[in-house]
Structure 1
Amino acid sequence: MSLTLTQARAALDSGFVLDLTPPLTLWLREVNPVTGPGEAFSMIFHAPAEPALSQQTYRLRHETLGEQWLFLVPLSEGGEGAVYEALFNN
């Protein structure tokens, strides 16, 4: 199931958990509409700097949205943490 803009906005400031050892929580900090056909938007996640995630698809769990497969793109990494983006075009 693909996320909608409404669902993504409802999940702002909540955690999406990646099953690593130990688990890694990515916090949804922004949901931004994107100009384009259909309902396009981006989700911006903040996470600890380590472990750094490479650009690829990850299975994340959310308490209300359930399991989601998201293609994450690293935007920045540093001492303050990492920022990742997932794009949607429904």
Structure 2
Amino acid sequence: MILTPEQFRPLTGSDFAFEVAEGAPVALRLDSVNEARSDQGFRQFSLYFSGPLDAPLMQGTYLIRHPVLGEGPLFLVPTGRDAEQMSYEAACSCQD
């Protein structure tokens, strides 16, 4: 799956299913899509997700599923937590 920020922007606010080794998939909400400066023919962008405190995900590659995008791998990094949720970032790049 080739990912672009344009594919994700309309999906802001929707849930993505992240497959885990044991148990049911963990639903994370896509909170925002931020695009960085293009450089040498590549575009960098970050996807920011939030999810439940009771099912935190570790840094790693997950198979994600979404009814619009289908499924594919995504490398996820936990970035923090507050009293209500965990926060995550997935840094991505695509060709310009």
* TM-score, L = length of structure 1: 0.90
Rounded to whole Å, the distance in 2 between the matches of 1:85 and 1:19 is 16
Q: Pick the aligned partner of 1:24 from 23, 26, 32.
A: 26
The answer as to whether partners of 2:43 and 2:93 remain within 8 angstroms in 1 is yes
Where in structure 1 do 4 or more consecutive aligned residues deviate above 6 Å? none
Rounded to whole Å, the distance in 2 between the matches of 1:9 and 1:69 is 18
Structure 1 gaps, min length 5? none
1:39 maps to a residue whose letter is R
Structure 2 gaps, min length 5? none
Once the two structures are superposed, residues 24-75 of structure 1 have per-residue CA deviations (whole angstroms, 9 ceiling, x without a partner) of 1000010001124222110000100122111100001001100021100100
Alignment of 1:4-15 (within 5 A): 4-15=4-15
Rounded to whole Å, the distance in 2 between the matches of 1:68 and 1:89 is 15
> Identity of counterpart residues, as a percentage?
38
CA RMSD of aligned residues (A): 1.3
